[in-house]
Structure 1
Amino acid sequence: MARGRLHTFVGHMFDLDTLDTRFTTPSGVPYKTVIDARNNGANGKRDDSFNAPKPDKHAQPSKWATPEFLLYYVLLGGFIFPSMFWVTYSVSRPSDPRYGKYERFLSPGWIPGRKIDVSDAQYSTFRNNLPFMALLLVLHPLLRRVWEAVNPLPRGAGSARAGSPEAANARLRQRTTFDYTFAIIYLIALHGFSAFKILLILFLNFKIATGGLPRKYIPAATWTFNVCVLFANELCRGYKFRSIALLFAGPSAGDMLSDPSVLVRLGEWLDSYGGIMSRWQILFNITILRLVSFNLDYYWSLNSRSSSPLEKQLDPANLSERDRVTISAAPGDYCFRNYIGYTIYAPLYLTGPIITFNEYISQSRYKSATIETARTVRYALRFLLVLLSMEVLLHYDYVGAITKAGADWSSYTAAQTSLLSFFNLHIIWMKLLLPWRLFRLWALVDGIDPPENMLRCVSNNYSTLSFWRAWHRSYYRWLLRYIYIPLGGTNFRSWRDSARSVITYLVVFTFVAMWHDIQLNLLIWGWLIVFFFLPEIAASYIFPRHKWESRPTTYRMMCCAGGVANVLMMVSANLVGFAVGWDGLQSILKGILYDYSGLLFLVTACASLFVGIQVMFEVRESELRKGISLKC
């Protein structure tokens, strides 16, 4: 019986519902309805108020136990997976002749006989600060409890979820006042005197929306200001106080051969107190998204002042996820206190995930029904498993150190180069996944449920369009709401619409590239993504699924061949943007295409991808059989 309970617990831990209820509940359905239906089902009662997801009529019968998939299991478990790991491990052993060239970038590891590759600055920073972040994850919610004890809700307002609007407003004030107070302290601790630069940027953005600017100019002014801040932060390197002082004191005052002026010395002193993270501009890009969200949510609220959940006959304590995002907050909610509490909300400030202002206010007013202790515990365990996987991988695959040491890729075989690059993408995926999940876990513990950023493993993607929807999902949703939909979306039914749609994609991904960093590699990456969208979109029109309903196996094989091409293109684009750059990609392609062994590896790799994509197809079909359609 204990084994059965353990098996059930592990099964639930890997449910999509554990990651995010948004994946398993339609966006227009309040989650409280799901809970009621679940509880009634457990009690043997029928509940017709919620239509549970029904199997998709297009879902194919299960193939998990067919001879075809038994062959795939043998190939994956007996050859493909072991070969992939062995190739990367073999070049990461001390016996490899190139080991001495990158050994200096390795650190002592906790697995006996192995060092660990923490040469990546992002992951190394995260790893070193993990104990402090874990302490904050515990301390911050505890401080909120103390705050709530010192500043209790009015009598009778203890249960805001089911309470009156007055009780909900009291809960909103209680939470946002704490968020505002903690945000100021948090900002100063993180960035020292640079916190005042951040507050100035926030104040200017706030005045653009609420300072009396004619309403029609708010969107253009918001975008102009925030894009300029994006560039200025990078070009001015965080606006050093010394550099600002030099503007007023004159360049001669900063000459090291003479005594600096009092103003310059003051600037240097202020720069010396930069807090825990003196380079605040590095992670400020995520805050830019919240600045845009506040201003545009406020702008759209001006056109819907008469709209409210009650007027739409909705229970404001039990809104669906879609309604929390789209229904504007009350006019009084767009105040400076709530604005600062939202933009510098501690659990999500550094890396996200991204939550819109409307949803932040809604969840602060009424606790989301999706916040359940059992799910949060399972989510925490999944985070720990990913952390363990990352640590083990970095003990046996030294691709980061090899790349940092300026590897001579011509000394590696095509298989070694390709698989090192492939595992490099997995390391990139996990180094982003870990902070996102940790900070989302912090938010869940604190009572806010932001969207999950990663739906699929990087190895579980065969579609360029679907990959984009599943990778950094909260950012994808932000782009949809604030750029893609306002630009008119996409439509490929005519040549004119197709041209406009391509331009829309280019605008979106040019912003995405600039938002990540102002580098040519990332700009090329963004345009490559758009270019790689086009074959998939064209294929969906040329080979529509409904015309192949009588030949599902043939259609599946055709789609799989297209998926192999998509994977190769996605790997290439992401290597350019986030790993080896354009020159590195050219070296890899040269090693593959100009040698017989390289071509043999390419054929083997494509065959392996074909097998893997068939499994990916079946994973999605199994979701459809449960009534879950994620479109990614």
Structure 2
Amino acid sequence: TPHKLTPEDSIADSKLPAQQILQPGKEQSLPGIQPSKWNTPEFYFYYLCFLTIPVFMVKAVYDVSQESHPNYSRYSHLLSDGWIPGRKVDNSDSQYAGFRDNIPYMTLLLILHPLLRKAYNSFWRIDSYTKPVPSSSRTPGLTQGLSPSAAADARMEHRISFDVYFAIIFIFALHGFSALKVLLILYTNYKLATQLPKAYVPAATWIFNVGILFANELCHGYPMAEVAAFVLPSQTSASEKANQTPGWAGWIDSYGGILPRWEILFNITVLRLISFNLDYYWSLSASSSLEKKQLDPSNLSERDRVSVPSKPVDFSFRNYLAYALYSPLYLAGPILTFNDYISQSRYPLASITTKRTLMYGLRFLICVLTMEFCLHFLYAVAISKAQPAWEVYSPMQLSMLGYFNLHIIWLKLLIPWRFFRLWSLADGIDTPENMVRCMSDNYSALAFWRGWHRSFNRWIVRYIYIPIGGSGQGKVRAIGNFLAVFTFVALWHDINLKLLIWGWLITLFVLPEVLCTLLFPAKKWKDSPDVYRWICGVGATGNILMMMAANLVGFAIGVDGLKAMVGNIVGSLGG
């Protein structure tokens, strides 16, 4: 019989010295690990700061949000009636206002969509041949004689059929006749991937999709009135064109759906189009990773669901359409790769449970209430939009206006992402979580972006950063790649100078962290861990200030607003 491994054997085979083997009842410490500092005078000072300073931070913005403040009249027109007695609500951010005002309708959709899928599944009796027979049964395998692989394929076919039907209805309700423009772009992209010679697919994919970003912006979504005016014979005068186009083109434009400006939200779809094309391109030269790695296709890790190519038959136009227009993620993400979508459509994840989804919904509700509290009591966004007399505010108030502006930006992005992820979880699809960290606990610029738009960061790493060389060719090349990545990120968000400056500032502000990591390697400070900790603290503070500046420029007050704010903060003795 084979030798059984005993606890004594484990200890004998361990590479750790005998004195480092954990013993019950004795405190142990691993090599190089410092003792806990929770119960030290230094940390008691931090506890005191934590309990007192945030109160003054909130109070600084609350005080300037009162009707009695001299600048109140400058931004009061941006406030709306709130549901908290005695308070107005700062609903002046148009991006979040569009989401906030439609929460009741989207909640109804979140409930209705999974219920319709259940009704669809019940009608076709999908569960009768896509669930394993109980282990107590003498009949092996699945009901109706399907193998596990065939049952998984059947499940995917039915899921994707429903996704396509619902998506077509959904986008026509959202965009009206403009849904045909969306479908035309999707069809063209699919043909580029599947009809061009393999060597041209990556370049054609990037040129087409980046071109679409620019064309959508410059042509304002291609209104039919303007398209008709453009294609009319050149000898037609401008006045004649104006008289001819409203008859039919204007009528078409009048049926724009719930969201007539479809091009604003199409950027997220562009990422899915690129994902499909490149996943298809890489699948053409990939061997069977499932057989090579001896992986169970029904129990893949998240990494394997992304990297293991789908079957050749999976890259059909119907599957592509279902993926690109998947309703829960269509408007804002989070971003799911094509391979991952197909894998989850074929095999349900064990991690998706009713309890987990309900707890996630509770967390989402807490986030919404937190945002409502901020918008009712802290009018930081309205004050910034009104471009008030900054000199009226104290340096502390100016600092906190910038700080809470960023907190509201964090919340206004987190809440829609959490909502749409909740919807996808309720529908049986698990996407990467965005915003995995709070805004105020990020001291590393590099780590900050990994946790902010996390699904987008993973998309960038897979489809841009690694293909152009990543960080494996030296620090200088890595910084150049970082600049290329954030130039794309800025243009993807919106084609304007403010966001382009934001992307370049992010790259610039990453440099100090990279340089300090080279100048102060941890291994050289092993004998002075406290000194190294303080050096890291100073560097982290600088990182936080630079990231705050970059994000205020990109998403809040712009370059001029930041100059005015910083000038009033540091331009006085009090600052």
After superposition, the Cα gap between the structure-2 partners of 1:61 and 1:154, relative to the gap in structure 1 and judged at 3 Å, is same
Partner of 2:6: none
Partner of 2:317: 336
After superposition, the Cα gap between the structure-2 partners of 1:97 and 1:57, relative to the gap in structure 1 and judged at 3 Å, is same
Letter in 1 for 2:205: T
Partner of 1:546: 523
State the Cα distance separating 1:258 from its structure 2 match.
8.3
Report whether the alignment pairs 1:501 with 2:471: no
After superposition, the Cα gap between the structure-2 partners of 1:64 and 1:310, relative to the gap in structure 1 and judged at 3 Å, is same
* Structure 1, unpaired ranges of 5+: 1-54, 599-632
Letter in 2 for 1:578: F
Partner of 2:364: 383
State the Cα distance separating 1:402 from its structure 2 match.
1.4
CA contact (8 A) 1:254 1:260 kept: no
After superposition, the Cα gap between the structure-2 partners of 1:92 and 1:551, relative to the gap in structure 1 and judged at 3 Å, is same
Report whether the alignment pairs 1:139 with 2:116: no
CA contact (8 A) 1:245 1:264 kept: no
CA distance in 2, matches of 1:227, 1:291: 11
Report whether the alignment pairs 1:409 with 2:390: yes
Letter in 1 for 2:355: A
After superposition, the Cα gap between the structure-2 partners of 1:135 and 1:252, relative to the gap in structure 1 and judged at 3 Å, is farther
CA contact (8 A) 2:305 2:340 kept: yes
Report whether the alignment pairs 1:115 with 2:97: no
CA distance in 2, matches of 1:134, 1:181: 20
State the Cα distance separating 1:547 from its structure 2 match.
2.3
Q: 2:61 aligns with which of 70, 88, 92?
A: 88
Report whether the alignment pairs 1:367 with 2:351: no
CA distance in 2, matches of 1:203, 1:156: 33
1:495-534 matched pairs, under 5 angstroms: 497-534=474-511
CA distance in 1, matches of 2:298, 2:92: 47
Question: Aligned to 1:238, what secondary structure does the other structure show?
Answer: coil
Q: Which moved more, 1:366-375 or 1:57-66?
A: 57-66
Partner of 1:52: none
Question: Aligned to 1:462, what secondary structure does the other structure show?
Answer: coil
CA distance in 1, matches of 2:333, 2:80: 29
* Structure 2, unpaired ranges of 5+: 1-28, 134-140
Report whether the alignment pairs 1:556 with 2:538: no
CA distance in 2, matches of 1:56, 1:242: 71
CA distance in 1, matches of 2:237, 2:429: 48
Partner of 1:424: 405
After superposition, the Cα gap between the structure-2 partners of 1:62 and 1:400, relative to the gap in structure 1 and judged at 3 Å, is same
Report whether the alignment pairs 1:226 with 2:209: yes
Letter in 2 for 1:179: D
State the Cα distance separating 1:343 from its structure 2 match.
0.6
CA distance in 2, matches of 1:145, 1:328: 29
Partner of 2:197: 214
After superposition, the Cα gap between the structure-2 partners of 1:132 and 1:251, relative to the gap in structure 1 and judged at 3 Å, is farther
Letter in 1 for 2:37: K
After superposition, the Cα gap between the structure-2 partners of 1:272 and 1:158, relative to the gap in structure 1 and judged at 3 Å, is same
Report whether the alignment pairs 1:439 with 2:420: yes
After superposition, the Cα gap between the structure-2 partners of 1:59 and 1:116, relative to the gap in structure 1 and judged at 3 Å, is farther
Per-residue CA distance 1:400-454 (angstroms, 9 max, x = gap): 1112223222322222112101100100110000000000000001000000011
Q: Which has the higher contact order (CA 8 A, sep 6+)?
A: 1
After superposition, the Cα gap between the structure-2 partners of 1:129 and 1:72, relative to the gap in structure 1 and judged at 3 Å, is same
State the Cα distance separating 1:96 from its structure 2 match.
0.6
State the Cα distance separating 1:270 from its structure 2 match.
0.6
Partner of 1:181: 165
Per-residue CA distance 1:123-154 (angstroms, 9 max, x = gap): 11111100011111110001111111122338
Paired residues, what number? 536
CA distance in 2, matches of 1:175, 1:59: 50
After superposition, the Cα gap between the structure-2 partners of 1:273 and 1:526, relative to the gap in structure 1 and judged at 3 Å, is same
CA contact (8 A) 2:232 2:241 kept: no
Report whether the alignment pairs 1:67 with 2:41: yes
Question: Aligned to 1:96, what secondary structure does the other structure show?
Answer: coil
State the Cα distance separating 1:540 from its structure 2 match.
1.1
Partner of 1:606: none
CA distance in 1, matches of 2:154, 2:451: 37
CA contact (8 A) 1:172 1:361 kept: yes
Letter in 2 for 1:84: M
Report whether the alignment pairs 1:289 with 2:271: yes
State the Cα distance separating 1:308 from its structure 2 match.
4.1
TM-score (norm 2): 0.90
CA contact (8 A) 2:65 2:378 kept: yes
After superposition, the Cα gap between the structure-2 partners of 1:175 and 1:588, relative to the gap in structure 1 and judged at 3 Å, is same
Per-residue CA distance 1:228-271 (angstroms, 9 max, x = gap): 0000000000000111111122588685688722x542110110
CA distance in 2, matches of 1:171, 1:216: 34
Percentage of matched positions with identical amino acids: 54
CA distance in 1, matches of 2:148, 2:103: 40
CA contact (8 A) 2:328 2:423 kept: yes
Q: 2:299 aligns with which of 315, 318, 334?
A: 318
CA distance in 2, matches of 1:59, 1:499: 32
Letter in 2 for 1:243: E
TM-score (norm 1): 0.82
CA distance in 1, matches of 2:234, 2:382: 41
CA distance in 1, matches of 2:495, 2:189: 22
Q: Which moved more, 1:464-473 or 1:586-595?
A: 586-595
CA contact (8 A) 2:229 2:241 kept: no
Letter in 2 for 1:504: N
Q: 1:245 aligns with which of 228, 243, 256?
A: 228
After superposition, the Cα gap between the structure-2 partners of 1:539 and 1:204, relative to the gap in structure 1 and judged at 3 Å, is same
After superposition, the Cα gap between the structure-2 partners of 1:114 and 1:259, relative to the gap in structure 1 and judged at 3 Å, is closer
